[in-house]
Amino acid sequence: MYIQYVGFNVAGGSRIYNFDVIDKRESREFTVKIQSQAFRPAGLKLQDGPDICFARLKQELTGETHETRAEAHLAIEEREIREYLERETNGETSRARRLQNKTASDR
């Protein structure tokens, strides 16, 4: 399965991210919506939009069965934004620590 980000639209106070999902049997289109207010100084950065939406879509597709298919139109909730920001903050802290340790060992 291949997930391709194809762009976004702004509509009704939201950013709507568009994805094509291609696998052996078919090609499908999905949208993932985030409220524009989520993009604020203490919230998501604009460049986080495609990443958080891709992760949400991938999670939905992973949970698919023959009986239950992923919804074509998804939305990111506040809880998901908080979890994403926590993961990103922890990841940045870890990367900064590794870089600091590498710089110290190069001396």
Residue-wise pLDDT for 27-40, tens only, equals: 999 999 999 999 99
Residues with pLDDT less than 50, the chain: 102
The H or E element spanning position 22 is strand 14-22
The pLDDT value given to residue 62: 95
Starting at the edge strand found earlier in the chain, the sheet holding 27-35 runs 2-11, 14-22, 27-35, 73-75
The pTM is what?
0.82
The SS3 of residue 86 is: helix
